[in-house]
């Protein structure tokens, strides 16, 4: 089974500053990688995903992530955050097999300070 580590449980950042949310996973075999965002009292919404190809992936709301196979990392970045980016962010790894099981990190709470 995979394991996913999100190194920071809480990240406070000032509005318009850049942010990086870190994610590492356990296996070096081929995997698919995802970042989801959860706003208060809502389900998870897909931000971006890496399946293959370019290691730099662009998603919604100005977010991007870089897949680094040698470091088994998939860090999420945004050059300038807004108040509306305040939310919980989850990194996930999927194991391409029947059932498509996902493994989630414990989440990073991003708080944007005005």
Partner 1 sequence: DVKVTQSSRYLVKRTGEKVFLECVQDMDHENMFWYRQDPGLGLRLIYFSYDVKMKEKGDIPEGYSVSREKKERFSLILESASTNQTSMYLCASGWGPSGETQYFGPGTRLLVL
The distance of closest approach from Cβ of residue 46 to partner 1 in the complex, given in angstroms and rounded to an integer, is 6
Scanning residues 46 to 85, which ones bind partner 1 (CB under 8 A)?
46, 49, 51
Which member of 25, 34, 35, 50 binds partner 1 (CB under 8 A)? 34
The distance of closest approach from Cβ of residue 25 to partner 1 in the complex, given in angstroms and rounded to an integer, is 13
The distance of closest approach from Cβ of residue 32 to partner 1 in the complex, given in angstroms and rounded to an integer, is 5
Backbone angles phi, psi at 55, to 5 degrees: -80, -15
Helix (H, G, I), strand (E, B) or coil at 84: helix
The distance of closest approach from Cβ of residue 90 to partner 1 in the complex, given in angstroms and rounded to an integer, is 7
Which member of 32, 59, 61, 86 binds partner 1 (CB under 8 A)? 32
Which member of 104, 110, 111, 112 binds partner 1 (CB under 8 A)? 104
Q: Residue with structure tokens 């394991």?
A: 3
1-32 burial: b if 16+ Cβ within 10 Å, else e: ebebebeeeebebeeeeebebbbbbeeeeebe
Q: What is the C-alpha separation between 17 and 79, in angstroms, rounded? A: 7
Residues in the site for partner 1, rule: CB under 8 A? 9, 31-32, 34, 36, 41-46, 49, 51, 90, 92, 94-102, 104-107
């Amino acid at each position: 089974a995979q394991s996913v580590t999100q190194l920071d449980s809480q990240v406070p950042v000032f509005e318009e500053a850049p942010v990086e949310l870190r994610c590492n996973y356990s296996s070096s075999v081929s995997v698919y990688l995802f970042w989801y965002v959860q706003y208060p009292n809502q389900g998870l919404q897909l931000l971006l995903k890496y399946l293959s190809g370019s290691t730099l992936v662009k998603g919604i709301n100005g977010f991007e992530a870089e897949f680094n196979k040698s470091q088994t990392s998939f860090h999420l970045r945004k050059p300038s955050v807004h108040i509306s980016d305040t939310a919980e962010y989850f990194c996930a790894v999927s194991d391409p097999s029947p059932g498509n099981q996902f493994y989630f990190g414990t989440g990073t709470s991003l708080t944007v300070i005005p």
